[in-house]
Amino acid sequence: MDRQFSSSDMEKASVHNIEEVALHGHAATDIKDGRALFVVDEAAERALRRKIDLRILPTVALLYLFCFIDRANIGNARLAGLEKDLKLKGYDYNILLTAFYVAYVVFEFPAQVVNKWIGPGKMIPILSFLFGLCSLCMAFVHTFGQAIAVRFLLGIAEGGVFPGIAFFLSRFYRKDELGFRLACYIVCAPLAGAVGGLLASAILKIDSIGPYRTWRSGVITMGIAIISWFILPDRPEVCKWLTPEERLLAEARIKSENVGQTEVVDSLQTKTLYAGVFNATTLISSTIFFFDNIVPTIIRTIYPGLTTVQQQLRTVPPYVVGAFTTLLTGYLSFKTKKRGLYMVLSAPFMILGYAMYLATQDPHVRYTAAFMVAIGAFSFGALCTAWAAANVTSDTARAGALGTVVFFGNCGGLVSTWTFLPNAAPRYVPGNAFNLCGSSVMLFLAAGLWAWQVRENRAKANGRDDWRIEGKTQAEIEALGQKLPGFRYSY
């Protein structure tokens, strides 16, 4: 009679297998069908996930929140007296915004490569500290030229923060877990808009502290960056607050989703980096994120008769709604293991919002449109980056994919500074029409990518790519990436 395995026997076998597949040079998946070569204790995995959540997410969320407040406060500063203080005229404010985005766009991808090379656990605190320092330097700005220089340096510093945090989290979370964790820090963007508006409405009554205007800040960001240096590890293998067993499980479960790979953190290679850049999922997600980021705040033109403080307070509710939607779609993405579905559901809200902006000048309708745009737009940050990260097979390719998505997104931010110009106020017909078309393109691309991935997975399951691994060495198999028969697109 064959002996039946008990649950304890299975648990021991699982631990043994995890120890084996977590070793350097060992694969954790079957390259033909993508099946994990070990069994995970689900209770142990949930406990590990909670521990990582509690240690990492609050830190990166606070970093991103205060970085984004420092970055976005240029809009509040405009209302608080920046234009008057610096004697800005005409398009000077747009040029000031452009200086930041040009630096951000130019240095963002190189910064992501440095993140991969040095390690995001080290680079994120460094870049965040520099970002806070540049924000603090605004206290000593008295001319337009000085402001451009500081905003340019600010763009360089932040260039690696957003993609760096996404890349960092991808080393700790499975593909289907990543979207919600990205949402947990990306939600800080709308929260920063809400908090920034509340803070601005309060400090406008103070006007200045000593010789400095109250829109100048950055000290808090620097403090959090210093603390994060001692909290954020580069990867699970060197994480001191995980037990040896937890480190093995953390490494094995991430490796199990990188079909054909024998290392969780592979060496930086140009060919692999660009494989993450030039694939369909990365490029389409990047294009969607580009259109998503051409979204300005135009509350002042909706209610021109209100005081500055009242205008600031009116910006808060749409941001709060956007924050809630970001978390909700991220959580549903985690639970249902889908990303494309929620992008397809979000885009129509943006389409409706921009149509309402174009259709009428009624302030109540246009204010409602701001809520529609917030509901649709804010969720795309987490979904686009998660979709790109989920469809590569190595750490280096993931760095390239995430860097590309954020690069395109910031190109969208650069475009937004010149599609909503002062002479088009209050309706901003060119900008709103452009965004209406862009939102429609986002819907089409998300639905099309989703359908294409479903078709590709069906073809792979039917054995279309089985021939590719015949006679291949391990190095050649690792280089195949998405072409491996065991790889499945995650949509």
List all residues 6 or more positions away from 421 whose beta carbon is below 8 Å from its beta carbon. 91, 94, 430, 431
Q: Summarize pLDDT for 342-360 with one digit per residue, the tens.
A: 999 999 999 999 999 999 8
Q: How many C-beta neighbours within 10 Å does residue 90 have? A: 9
**Euclidean distance between CA atoms 51 and 58, whole angstroms:** 12
Is residue 5 pLDDT above 60, yes or no? no
Better pLDDT: 363 or 299 = 363
Is residue 239 pLDDT above 80, yes or no? yes
Q: What's the pLDDT at 94? A: 77
Nearest to 476 by CA among 272, 280, 253: 272
Q: DSSP string spanning 217-268?
A: --HHHHHHHHHHHTT--SSGGG-TTS-HHHHHHHHHHHHTTSTT-S-SSPPP
Mark residue 348 as left, alpha or beta (left: phi above 0; alpha: psi -120 to 50; beta: remaining): alpha
* pLDDT confidence bin for 74, thresholds 50/70/90: low
* pLDDT confidence bin for 209, thresholds 50/70/90: very low
- CATH-assigned architecture of domain 29-243+254-483: Up-down Bundle (1.20)
Q: Summarize pLDDT for 167-187 with one digit per residue, the tens.
A: 999 999 999 999 999 998 888
Better pLDDT: 32 or 330 = 330
Nearest to 311 by CA among 78, 66, 72: 78
Q: Which residue has the tokens 């994990």?
A: 36
Look up the pTM and report it: 0.85
Q: What's the pLDDT at 14? A: 40
**Euclidean distance between CA atoms 291 and 289, whole angstroms:** 5
Is residue 197 pLDDT above 70, yes or no? no
Q: What's the pLDDT at 102? A: 87
**Euclidean distance between CA atoms 294 and 60, whole angstroms:** 25
Two structure tokens written together for 24: 């350097």
60, containing H or E segment: helix 42-80
**Euclidean distance between CA atoms 491 and 481, whole angstroms:** 17
Q: Summarize pLDDT for 269-287 with one digit per residue, the tens.
A: 889 999 999 999 999 999 9
Strand, helix or coil for residue 207: coil
Q: How far is CA 425 from the centre of its chain?
A: 31
List all residues 6 or more positions away from 151 whose beta carbon is below 8 Å from its beta carbon. 74, 96, 97, 99, 100, 103
Q: Summarize pLDDT for 413-452 with one digit per residue, the tens.
A: 888 878 877 777 778 888 889 999 999 999 999 999 999 9
| Angle at 127 (CA atoms; ends 124, 133), nearest 5 degrees | 140
Q: What is the mean pLDDT of the chain?
A: 83
**Would the CA dihedral through 329, 331, 335, 337 be positive or negative?**
positive
Two structure tokens written together for 303: 């209610």
Q: Summarize pLDDT for 79-89 with one digit per residue, the tens.
A: 556 667 777 77
Is residue 72 pLDDT above 70, yes or no? no
Span 10-31, average pLDDT: 64
* pLDDT confidence bin for 52, thresholds 50/70/90: very high
Q: How far is CA 242 from the centre of its chain?
A: 25
Q: What's the pLDDT at 414? A: 80
Q: What is the largest CA-CA distance in the chain?
A: 90
